[in-house]
Structure 1
Amino acid sequence: MNRTALPAMTLRLPLLAAALLLAGCAVGPDYRRPDAPVPAQFRAADGWKLAGPADAPIAKAWWKHFNDPQLDQLVEQVDLSNQSIRIAEARYRQATALLDAAQAQALPTLNAAAGVTRSQGVSTTTTGGTTAAVGAPIRNTSRLSLTASWEPDLWGRIARGSEAAGASAAAVAADLRAARLSARAAVSQAYLQLRVNDAQHALLERTVAAYTRSAEITRHRFDAGVAARADVTQAQAQLKTAQAQLIDLGIQRRQLEHAIAVLTGKAPAELSLAPSSSLPELPRVPGLLPSTLLERRPDVGAAERRVAAANAQIGVAQAAFFPTLTLGATGGTQSSALARVLSLPNSFWSLGPNLALALFDGGARSARKDQAVAAWDESVASYRQTVLTAFQEVEDNLAALQILDAEARAQAEALAAATESLELVNNQYLAGTVSYLNVTNAQTVALNAERARLDIMVRRLTGSVALFKAIGGDQP
């Protein structure tokens, strides 16, 4: 041990103590969530329950409001097997690993090394005034050592880095929630469209049966000489048109089944859903205050956490302008004989601080700080845009559901009138007071009215899913 180093080391201790007191003094701006435009209430909230903060969490998973067990099973399969969710989960694990690595920088590092070297040098000899170089003896050197180092976080560079990594991990966690919400909404909308497709299929089957009976009646009347040939051709044309529409529905149903299969992590050929004669219930979507939307939407949360991460990166860039202090210590043993490598006389050690500061870098540090500030500005604008988009989506779907509700009532009245008109025209045709053209027109109007009713229903069902998604699903 080198005892002459002890006085010098003793003089350095007050300096090191003072330096350590500065640890945790982080440079850079402290984070504050950016302000964003939040309306007092939603514009299209007339007749819609305005919830207080205590009402924000939905009582049950939002897709269960449709009261369809088949839909519940599909959503469960989405959570287990959807590949987009798997991608988001993998990204979250990556982000947490980066956070662990960032936090590890605040801890000391300890390295061990062991080695054996065989070497030969050159020695000189002098004989009779002549100097000659000859080979030195071959030496074997065995060495064991431990090296420890620690960087006190004087200016908060490591703390800001950990802060940035933590905020980024939280943002990726919000991305994972958004991926789950998006996949659940996608499979719900596809399933609801499939069920309305089944209802349209059942409607066209009934229509084809009715048109078949009408064509038979017209044929009998023609055979009896009380109907024209044109009545028969009109009845046949209308029947074939309805049959073609019935066949065409199969395309959409197959495509919806394929979409549901992929969303649940299956190949399209592996999923087949049996037709159902009943439609899922139209749910009552719970309301909420606009201010709580910022807490529920996972994409808003992700955007806000990315602002926090960008803010911390400014501190990391600013800390680069200050010197870094590293405390290091090395100890071990070294000997030319392996058997004596662990003996105390062959030990060595060293201990001391290292202070480093870049004096000139051609403006690289300033450029990195400017880049960090610009990235922060970008993240703030992205956060505010995400907030505005969230409010727009809620307003759009609220307005759509309100208007569709009024449209559904009007369409129900139109359907009732078309059904009554068809019955009257049928009786008039059988009585011989009107032509079959009147019947086909009335049948077409009635069929279109019923299909329009189902179209409005599917828009209301899928619009409810879109509104659940827009308010953040069942995430509190």
Structure 2
Amino acid sequence: MNRGVSRKSLLSLVIVAILSGCNRSGPTLPESTVKVPERYTAQQSVEGPTTFQPQQQLVSEEPIPQQWWQLFQSQALTGLLQQGLENSPTLEVAEARLRAVEALYRGEQDDLQLPSADLLMSGSRAQSSGATVGQIGSGSVLSMQSATLQLGYRVDLFGANKQKLRGSHAQVLQQQYQLEHARVTLAANIVNSAIQIASLEAQMSALAKIIKDEGAHLSVTEQRYQIGVIPKSDLLGQRASLAQTRTRMPTLKRAHALAQHQLALLLGTTIAEVKLPALSFDQIQLPQRLPLTLPSELTRQRADVLAAEAALQQAAAAVGIATANRYPTLDLSARFGTEANQLSDLLSGGSTVWGLGAGLLHPLFHGDTLEAKERAAVATYQQQSARYRQQVLRAFREVADALRSLQLDSEQLALTEEADRLASETLRLVEQQHRQGAVSYLMLLNAQRQLQQARIQSIQSHAALYSDTVSLLVALGGGWWNPIKEQ
């Protein structure tokens, strides 16, 4: 009686310990939220269209096309984008990484949701000693053949398998969003490189014209010096001015060559193999209507924000796994097969063997290991939560930067174009007055330099406005979620 009571008491203690462990609840994870502002900047509102000068208007109800670069209406630019998106090693890496996590996720689905099955076949032959059965002699030779089907299944009592699948699915989503973000980023880099090349070519063309004009003025100055109309200091000043202007050309050529090298890399080739089309602002039109997403929609359109959200979901799943590992696990097993002394007897009815089993494993004491892993998972979740909020804030900042840059650079372009027009008119008048002897050579030299500076600044402001347009389209997500329109 006492032995039976002690067994019952021990069993009761085990059950109480298991149930007490099951009553432990996991940690409560705070939801990662960011307050969405009503507008992107302090001055901007999307309730109606906002117009930038020159020739650009923000329209809130227009969607961002997936191939947003077609807004620039440039066949050369579209061709570059097609080549880059097809050949970029960066995209190949992202696509291969996505295929890898998708394959692992599909395999994990089968492994965690379906029972395992294994076929075990074995054969043995051994000689036993007669002493093992109390006989004198060499014993007998025994043969044993077996074929067994083994089945196993772990019951997901506390959601560990569910959390593993949740984490794996979140990893697939993260890679999908990172691939889309890589595509948008690559497209932006290609367009910006093309804009930079067009800007540098325009600057070199303008500088070449200025060098030609200054060379012509130098010829006239030399003639006037030879007949004694002007002092030698004016001649030397004109020569110095031309030499100084010429020093700007190698710098522009170097920047132009490096920009071409960068574009070749983005296209997935080398500068020795690539055939770049002629790029100029005459072939790349500045979009007149720019789509503008509402602030409430931005976080669902930015692939990098969605990737950060997927990483947060992975961290939450890891917390669930760490919590479930503190609870019991239940494993079910079954086996069915045959055993016989001869291989030909394996299929006979009398050789059948089978078995059923169940095992419950409950962690009772592992020091602080399981709790420490859970705390570490919670800390990782908090880290990912902060990264997600930071990514959201960065997204709103990038849109605000692009909008403010569009506004200020459009104003700057209008001012530089006006300055270029006035400098050209001023130089024309000063040249006329200088030929008549009404103004000094220093005034003519100053007018030439003002025109050079105004023209270069106008080209640079033009390029900045193009880049600002790209920045806005990319900051708003790049339209990757919208279907491609049929041509």
TM-score, length of structure 1 as denominator length: 0.88
Residues 1:111 and 1:437: Cα distance change in structure 2 (over 3 Å)? same
Aligned partner of 1:184 in structure 2 is 187
Residues 1:433 and 1:109: Cα distance change in structure 2 (over 3 Å)? same
Q: Pairwise mapping of residues 142-161 of structure 1 onto structure 2 (< 5 A)?
A: 142-161=145-164
Q: Which sections of structure 2, spanning at least 5 residues, go unmatched?
A: 1-24, 52-56, 482-487
Q: Letter of the aligned partner of 1:403 in structure 2? A: L
Residues 1:186 and 1:45: Cα distance change in structure 2 (over 3 Å)? same
Report Cα offsets for 1:79-135 as digits up to 9, x if no partner: 112122122112212221232233221111111122222333333189xxxx88754
Aligned partner of 2:485 in structure 1 is none
State the 1:233 CA deviation. Answer: 2.3
Match of 2:247 among 244, 247, 254: 244
Q: Pairwise mapping of residues 370-449 of structure 1 onto structure 2 (< 5 A)?
A: 370-449=375-454
Distance 2:69 2:362 in 1: 59
Residues 1:449 and 1:187: Cα distance change in structure 2 (over 3 Å)? same
Report Cα offsets for 1:377-416 as digits up to 9, x if no partner: 1111111111111111111111111011111112122112
State the secondary structure of the residue aligned to 1:355. Answer: strand
Residues 1:361 and 1:335: Cα distance change in structure 2 (over 3 Å)? same
- Size of the aligned set, in residue pairs, is 444
Aligned partner of 1:57 in structure 2 is 63
Residues 1:244 and 1:162: Cα distance change in structure 2 (over 3 Å)? same
Q: Letter of the aligned partner of 1:115 in structure 2? A: S
Aligned partner of 1:35 in structure 2 is 33
Aligned partner of 2:102 in structure 1 is 96
Residues 1:68 and 1:354: Cα distance change in structure 2 (over 3 Å)? same
1:110 paired to 2:117: yes
1:201 paired to 2:207: no
Question: Comparing 291-300 with 275-284, which one deviates more in the overlay?
Answer: 275-284
Distance 1:463 1:351 in 2: 70
Flag as ranges the 4+ runs of structure 1 deviating above 6 A: 29-32
1:218 paired to 2:221: yes
Match of 1:282 among 262, 283, 286: 286
Q: Pairwise mapping of residues 12-91 of structure 1 onto structure 2 (< 5 A)?
A: 34-43=32-41, 44-45=43-44, 47=50, 55=61, 57-59=63-65, 61-91=67-97
Q: Pairwise mapping of residues 229-308 of structure 1 onto structure 2 (< 5 A)?
A: 229-279=232-282, 280-283=284-287, 284-308=289-313
Residues 1:357 and 1:116: Cα distance change in structure 2 (over 3 Å)? same
Distance 2:219 2:278 in 1: 29
Question: Comparing 343-352 with 111-120, which one deviates more in the overlay?
Answer: 111-120
State the 1:31 CA deviation. Answer: 8.6
RMSD: 2.3
State the secondary structure of the residue aligned to 1:150. Answer: strand
Aligned partner of 1:458 in structure 2 is 463
TM-score, length of structure 2 as denominator length: 0.86
Residues 1:459 and 1:446: Cα distance change in structure 2 (over 3 Å)? same
Q: Which sections of structure 1, spanning at least 5 residues, go unmatched?
A: 1-26
State the secondary structure of the residue aligned to 2:191. Answer: helix
Q: Percent identity?
A: 30
Distance 2:207 2:136 in 1: 107
State the 1:235 CA deviation. Answer: 2.4
Q: Letter of the aligned partner of 1:195 in structure 2? A: A
Distance 2:158 2:118 in 1: 25
